[in-house]
Structure 1
Amino acid sequence: MDHQAEIERRTRSELGWSELKEQLARRSHSQRAQAEARELALTENVATLEALLDRVVEARDLHARREPPPFGEVHDLRAALKRLEKEGVLAAPTLLSIAETLRSLDRLARFLRAQGERAPRLAKDAAGIIDLESIWGAIDDCFGPDGELYDNASSELYDLRRRTADLHRQLTKEMKRLMDVPTIAKHLQDRFFTERENRFVLPVRADAGGAVEGIVHGSSSSGATVFVEPRQVIGLNNQLKVAQMAVYREEARILSELSQLVAEETETIATNLEVGLDLDLIDARARLAVDLDATRPRLSERGDLRLRGARHPLLALAGVEVVANDIHLERGKGLLISGPNAGGKTVCLKTAGLCALMVRGGLLLPVDPDSEIPIYRRVLAEIGDAQSLEQNLSTFTAHLKQLLDFLSLLERDEVTTTIEQPSSPRRRAPQRSLVLIDEIVTGTDPRQGEGLARALLEELVNRTGQLLVTTHYEGLKALPTHDHRFVNANVGFDLEQMQPTFTLHIGTPGTSFALPVARKLGLAERVAQRAESLLEHAENELSALLKDLADQRSKLLAEQDEARKARAQADELERRHRRKLAELKEQGQRALGRGHGEALAELKSARVDLSRARKALREGKLDEEKLRQLDRQVSGAARAIGSHEPRPEPPETKPLAIEDLSPGSEVYVTRLGGSAEVLSAPRKGRVEVRFGGMRTLVSVDELKVPTDTRARALKRAGTTKRRGGDPRLDGPKVVPTQGRTVDNTLDLRGKRVDEALRELDAFLDQALLEGRDNVYALHGRGTGALRSAIREHVQRSPVIADTREADPEEGGDAVTLLELR
């Protein structure tokens, strides 16, 4: 292994990459996929990773909907396929493994192809699995559940096995008979028969000599028994042996035919296996993502690292309650993390490092949505005790050697990049590498160590994409104040609870809290004061400043948390008030509707009385003046009821712009209380619009533009005409009408005049009850007698405001439009 590979191997070992790959392997279905997961390949190709991550998301969503892909048993068939290439014959277990694998892949492909709408990429991949039911079906037809060939695998095999079974029965019968023959029975060691070398034999006592004629096939381990094939069954045994050999040859022929059937499709089978392997690994990634509650990050083109709510994947999988942290760092910058021991600094480093490796392996990350991460060319980590007993190196020396190796490796990367991009050889740009260093330059003199650490950091930050370092050096915490390439961060510590919060705060440095912790643990005050007096004055001031910053941050976070809670409560209260107001408005509208309906019912009753009065007048039983007085009373009541009809609220509108008045656009006419369609461009401050079934000119000042869908709803409803003193209808004598429909048209064709007039009166009463603005009487053309009678009749009706011939598209002179008051 070369030096570079050794550095990367150690980095991945320190981050726990092998443990994470093992978690992936446990979620793979086939042994081959498990092996591939343990050696998971990493790539830097952005297009490849984008496509892979898209597929993992689709598979994860299938699992989330409890519709996981059906992976059955998929065996590693590479050795079997290679044997077939050499014209070999496969054994029965191997053929059964092939059938099981092909059947599983076919079922998987059918499932994924059916998910074309929800998982189009996986469905497209599954299309690469060719249906090979002709192979696995043929194998299944030949073998039983026990893995043995069926008797009917071929007609020849069926006959041969029947012949063998018959001979076996004959031999059994003959051996039982011989055991009862007195001259044989007295020499038997026991009353049973058995087989030696696939031939039936009897257990004869060794001292019987040649008393039982036949062929000896061996003896017992003690030598007291010899196994003799009696002379009487030698012929049957020979026949059975021949029959068994024939069966064996036929079975071998069948296996050869099935092997040839598989051999003809080895390339297709190999392709199916590769597609199945890819899908297996994608599904393993998806299952890991579900267990980690992982999401798909954006791949950062700028090189910025923004992990929101990042969690250490191995701790999360172990069931540990992990504190999520935001890790944000721009390209070419270093993050200096300080704070107490065991506060989570190293966990932050490992989380960032594992995320960098995971994304290159096509894994979703344990982060919140809207996270982004670069594709790092290299991830280098120096974490933990680097002491080397083999090379007789101290912790400090081994640690420093590792950092120098990092610099050397990054310098080579820089040279390579300069060769690849010769257009700007003099410009040194940070490479896309992530360097993680835990407790930089410790184990030596603190003053010299701090200076050396700073010099190394300045050199490393020039050559990396991002640099994450943990430290206790106070001087390094001041580095970001005069070097914009560095950013401070700290992990919190709760002095009251005497435990770290494990929360990363970016922007301020941290302190070790050594003396406060010592006091909490019971250190004598005089000892603590002596320790403080031994510290340099500047160090005391810096520690006090850092502690004050930490306290202020804690207070600010608490206030922010309270503000968020108060805002959430206020939002919830506002939502409740809005719901209550909407409920009250709806209740009021229903109450108005019920009252209006009751009034209409009373009006209907009055109209019934009026109809009866008319009939009495025709019969000479009522004075005509009294009838007109009753008619006026009913019409007045109708107008009063109509004026109090519940009306929809006008829609929200916005100021009118000249482009809003193009033909076909929708406007709201304030005077008419409804939406209309613009028919022509404005001229002299007026514009022609279609309002319901009417065309009219209105002033531009009366128009507004609706901003919600209520205006459209009013327009579709026919813009109900306001009756009874509505000020919006004051002005020109324009009456909007609703177009002719089946519901508002009465067909009177073919009826006698008196019958037609009775139906018309009833129809008008019903129309008034329903709050219609206008109705149509269809009388046809004919002689014109029915049309004249209808128009003369409605002229005397107090509920009719006007009559006219319908528009040509509504029937013309065959239809009369009746506008209600």
Structure 2
Amino acid sequence: MNDKYYKALELEKIIDILKEKVSSELGLSMVEKINPFSDFEQVKTALQETTEAQSILIKRGHVPIQELHDIIDKVKRADIGATLDTKSLIKIAETMRVSRILSNLLSGEIKTETFGNAENAKTDETQLESYPIVQSLARSLYLHRDIEEAIFNAIIGEEEISDNASSELRNIRRKIVQKNQSIRSKLNSIISSTTYQKYLQEAIISMRGDRFVVPVKAEYRSMISGIIHDQSSSGATLFIEPMSIVEMNNDLRQLRLNEVEEIEKILSELSSRVGEVCRELISNQEILAKLDFIFAKGKLSIDMKAIEPNLNREQKFKIVNGRHPLIDKKSVIANTIYLGEDFSTLLITGPNTGGKTVTIKMVGIFALMTQCGLHIPADYGSNMCVYDNIFADIGDEQSIEQSLSTFSSHMTRIVNILDNVTENSLVIFDELGAGTDPEEGSALAISILENIRQVGASCIATTHYSELKKYALAKNDVENAAVEFDMDTLSPTYRLLIGVPGKSNAFEISKKLGLSDNVIEDAKNYLTGENIELEDVLQNVEKSRLKTEEELNKAEILRREAEFLKEKYDKMVEKFEGSKSKIMEDARSEAFSIIRQAKDTTEEMIKEIKKIEQEKSSKEKDRRLEDIRREIGQSMGHLQPSIESMVVPKFSQKEIKTLKPGQDVNIITLRQDGVVISADDNKKEAIVQVGIVKMTLPYKALNIVNKKEKQTVTKSTRKIMKSKSGKVKREVDLRGMNLEDAMMEVEKYLDDASMAGHEEITVIHGVGTGVLKKGINELLKKNPHVKSARPGEYGEGGAGVTIVKVK
């Protein structure tokens, strides 16, 4: 592909943005070499690389490619026997570490966690995803952890070797410290001596070169035996190394030389180990550069909110809601454009600054980005193809030196395009035929377009010429398009409309700006009848389009509302069905439990009755039978509905506004008549007497009835209410019972208390050993009648009682 056309499409600006995404010089060198592929499989692989990197970055958030260095020259020097410095070895070790981390991180399947929401409960799901290209590169990396650790253990800074680099270095440095201390101790004794203090300029220890000295007054030179190493600028002070420490300084110097020699030996050994794996490290460099480049493409894709376009082998593309990557995300207008399916040439017309050039540049840059393996900022559903060449004649390259006019410079590029275009090429023209006589320019433009069409190439062009609009209308393989213009605001909307030729808005704009009608009418007289007819047709088409678009928008709003209502209704139905199923299941489970319990109880009662039949005493027999009858009646308590469900209806009814004492009412749920004793119209409550029972009931639980309409109360209901309502106390005393008897007593009592409508009762179990209290509390946690239970407080019985709230 010819790169001289890339500048017109601004590919270099995309590459500059990509350069900012790399983490190393290695990746940067690959970005600088980027060039669009013209082979389908190469493009497909390059796009897949970017997709894998994008996916990994989204799932992991970050891939560590920092501290990656170009070490090829350094390892080649090590390979031929050179000793590397500490800085070079540190860079090599850091690069080895990056290789190891990336290999461990990327060579296997990537684990990702997702969160599902089922009935408001979060569930973690772990998924494994494979990335063939990235994983293959990561698995090809050579790992040298032993050399990496050896370098990091030996070198702790760019200029510092660790004591742990070797045992010999550790010993030498320990001796240096000891020798330093010995010399300083000796010199301290000299400078602190009263004999020598008067000869010294200052009582300090100094260094000259790598030897310890003391500052001596020049006039006392002969008083201190030693070697003069330096003097002050004034000559008043001499820096003398006393003879008593000369040998010690010599030993210290030798130790320092030994240290340097040992360090050289350590660096030489490390360099030799690096040289042994030179070829593997060079191979790693190529892989690491590729990975850095791939993840830079992934970062660019995320920043641009781009997608991988579907790639096809046909000469067609469809860009869905494409956004030019060099225009600010907040202001860019998305456009859908396609070519190659029903037509191979697209002519875009419209006013200046309407977005025509931006649109054709977007097509060109998307084609180049795709063939470079970069994602395009468009919506899913976009597809692109692979061209052998992408030609673009955009902008004015007028050359003063070559004495070329605007028209001439355009024609020079067009000639080159016509000489090299093939059936697999994409050609982009901006203002084709401009810069010369309109009549000749339009005829020439049609000829150029026809030539390209006959070759079979794809072509997009912008123009102002009406003749080209007619050409597009006449040719089956050529289509018109226009950029929309808002006549109310006299500004473009930057929306592309395919299938509609652009209308000239010069007269309308001039009229809105204040140009007189006479001038405009005179101008229309100079137009040919053909042009007037075309403009009228375009005007009618535009009106029809706007009306159709308005109707479509209304229809879309209604469709969305209908979908929303349907979705809401479906959720309600689904929720109802779910609740219904759960309630039915709970009811079945409870019924099964009740039946099983009743069966067990009945069997026990039958055994007891058979035993009583064998007894002789009629009085004792009658007493035991009465006890059993009472127990059966009490065990039926938990089968009865709650008082609330008996007295409060579950369906709406006509509201009672007022009641008076003496009125006859019907308790709806109990299906029993009663008489109003007193009523409170404000609270909507009444005290109703049913037989010997008085109940406070809400108005909504009652119906006013005439005496003749009184309904008959069922015998079973009357018996239940009679037997339970007045007899059940608000406490049960378990003291003196064993745990088994006490639990049976509490279960019976809770059934009665629930039937009697008690909201709170007291269970008296005493303190004792605590066994009875513990067992009763365990029972209360499981009993279906218990809403809550708490220990008694001061004044209620304290630790000897439990206060129970009944459902």
**Comparing 157-166 with 248-257, which one deviates more in the overlay?**
157-166
Q: Which residue number in structure 2 is paired with residue 388 of structure 1?
A: 399
1:563 match: 555
Paired residues for 1:499-514 under 5 Å: 499-514=491-506
Q: Give deviations 1:41-87, integer Å, cap 9, x for gaps.
A: 33223223323322322221222224432323111111112212322
**Which structure 2 residues correspond to residues 64-213 of structure 1 after superposition, within 5 A?**
64-115=58-109, 117-121=128-132, 122-144=134-156, 148-173=160-185, 194-200=206-212
Q: Distance in 1 between matches of 2:267 and 2:493?
A: 67
> CA–CA distance in 1 between the matches of 2:203 and 2:340?
91
Which string of whole-angstrom CA distances, capped at 9 and with x for unpartnered residues, describes residues 245-300 of structure 1? 21111100000100111111111112222222211111111111111111111211
Question: Which residue type is aligned with residue 53 of structure 1?
Answer: L
Q: CA deviation at 1:487?
A: 1.4
When residues 566 and 89 of structure 1 are mapped into structure 2, their CA distance, relative to the original with a 3 A threshold, is same
Aligned residue in 1 for 2:490:
498
Residue 408 of structure 1 corresponds to: 419
Aligned to 1:575: 567
CA shift, 1:404, in A, is 0.9
1:146–1:88 distance in 2 versus 1, CA, 3 Å: closer
- Per-residue deviation, 1:471: 0.9
Structure 2 vs 1, CA of residues 357 and 191 (structure 1 numbering), >3 Å: closer, same or farther? Answer: farther
Q: Assess if the C-alpha contact under 8 Å between 1:44 and 1:377 holds in 2.
A: yes
Which residue of structure 2 lines up, in the alignment, with residue 363 of structure 1? 374
Task: For residue 311 of structure 1, report the CA deviation from its aligned partner.
Answer: 1.3
Q: Give the gaps of 5 or more residues in structure 2.
A: 111-127, 616-807
8 Å contact kept, 1:308–1:326: yes
Report whether the alignment pairs 1:294 with 2:317: no
1:535 pairs, out of 527, 531, 543, with: 527
How far residue 185 of structure 1 moved from its aligned partner, in angstroms, is: 7.1
| 99 and 602 in structure 1: CA distance in 2 versus 1, 3 angstrom threshold | closer
- Structure 1 contact 341–512 (Cα < 8 Å) conserved: no
Instruction: Check 1:320–1:381 CA distance in 2 against 1; reply closer, same or farther (3 A cut).
Output: farther
Give the number of aligned pairs: 593
Q: Are the aligned partners of 2:192 and 2:203 in contact in 1 as well (CA < 8 Å)?
A: no
Judged with a 3 Å threshold, the aligned counterparts in structure 2 of structure 1 residues 326 and 42 are, in CA distance, closer, same or farther, namely same
* Alpha-carbon distance between aligned partners in 1 of 2:187 and 2:365, rounded to the nearest angstrom: 74
Cα–Cα, structure 1 residues 172 and 306, in superposed 2: closer, same or farther, change >3 Å?
A: same
Is 2:282 the counterpart of 1:270? Answer: yes
Deviations 1:446-486 (A, max 9, x none): 11111111111212233463211111111111112222232
In 2, the alpha carbon distance for the partners of 1:389 and 1:192 equals: 79
Q: Does 1:247 align with 2:254?
A: no
Note if contact 2:79-2:272 (Cα within 8 Å) is conserved in structure 1.
Answer: no
1:339 has 2:333 as partner:
no
**Structure 1 residues 334 and 223: alpha-carbon distance in aligned structure 2, compared to 1, 3 A threshold:** farther
Change in Cα spacing, 1:449 to 1:228, as seen in structure 2 (3 Å) is: same
Q: Is the 8 A contact 2:354 2:484 kept in 1?
A: yes
Matched residue SS, 1:492? strand
**Larger relative CO (CA 8 A, sep 6+): 1 or 2?**
2
- Deviation, structure 1 residue 586: 5.8
Answer whether contact 2:346 2:479 (CA < 8 A) is retained. yes
**Residue by residue, what CA displacement relative to the aligned partner does 1:407-450 show, whole Å, maximum 9, x if unpaired?**
2222xxx5xxxxxxxxxxxxxxx1x2211111112121111111
1:330 has 2:340 as partner: yes
- Between the aligned partners of 2:238 and 2:403, the Cα distance in structure 1 is 73
2:465 counterpart of 1:473? yes
Mapped pair 1:548 → 2:548: no
Structure 1 residue 20: Cα displacement: 0.7
Q: Structure 1 residues 96 and 572, CA, compared in 2 at 3 Å: closer, same or farther?
A: same
Name the residue aligned to 1:724.
Answer: none
Taking the aligned partners of 2:323 and 2:431, their CA distance within structure 1 comes to: 21
* Cross-structure match for 1:674: none
The match for 1:313 is 325
Distance 1:585 1:79, change over 3 A: closer
Asked if the contact 2:79–2:276 (Cα under 8 Å) also holds between the matched residues in 1, the reply is no
Q: 1:249 to 1:538 in 2, by over 3 A?
A: same
Amino acid of the structure 1 residue aligned with 2:333:
V
The answer to which of 223-232 and 50-59 deviates more is 223-232
User: Which amino acid in structure 2 is aligned with residue 328 of structure 1?
Assistant: Y
Distance 1:254 1:602, change over 3 A: closer
Change over 3 Å in CA distance of 1:536–1:602 after alignment to 2: same
Deviations 1:492-543 (A, max 9, x none): 1122233222111111111342332333344444444444344344333323
Indicate the residue corresponding to 2:427 in structure 1.
435
Contact 1:437 1:470 in 2 (8 A): yes
Look up the SS of the partner of 1:462 in the other structure.
Answer: helix
1:32 to 26, 34, 40: 26
Q: Which residue of 2 aligns with 1:256?
A: 268
Contact 1:70 1:111 in 2 (8 A): no
2:364 pairs with one of 349, 353, 357: 353
CA apart distance, 1:604? 8.3
* C-alpha distance 235-566 of structure 1, shift in aligned 2 (>3 A): same
Q: CA deviation at 1:594?
A: 8.3
Give me the identity figure in percent. Answer: 30
SS of alignment partner, residue 109 of structure 2: coil
Q: Does 1:53 align with 2:53?
A: no
Gaps of 5+ in 1: 415-429, 622-821
RMSD, aligned CA: 3.5
Is 1:452 the counterpart of 2:452 in the alignment?
Answer: no
User: What are the Cα deviations for residues 584-625 of structure 1, in whole angstroms up to 9, with x where unaligned?
Assistant: 56666777778889998998899899977899799699xxxx
Specify whether residues 506 and 204 from structure 1 end up closer, same or farther in structure 2 by C-alpha distance, changes over 3 A only.
farther
* Segment drifting more, 155-164 vs 111-120: 111-120
Cα 1:614–1:358, aligned 2, differ >3 Å: closer, same or farther?
same
Cα separation, partners in 2 of 1:364 and 1:202, compared to 1, 3 Å: same
> What does the per-residue CA deviation read over 1:538-580, in whole Å, with 9 as the maximum and x for residues that have no partner?
3333233323323322332232222122111112222333334
Q: Which digits, 9 at most, give the CA deviation of each residue in 1:746-788, with x for residues without a partner?
A: xxxxxxxxxxxxxxxxxxxxxxxxxxxxxxxxxxxxxxxxxxx
Contact 2:215/2:240 (8 A) holds in 1:
no
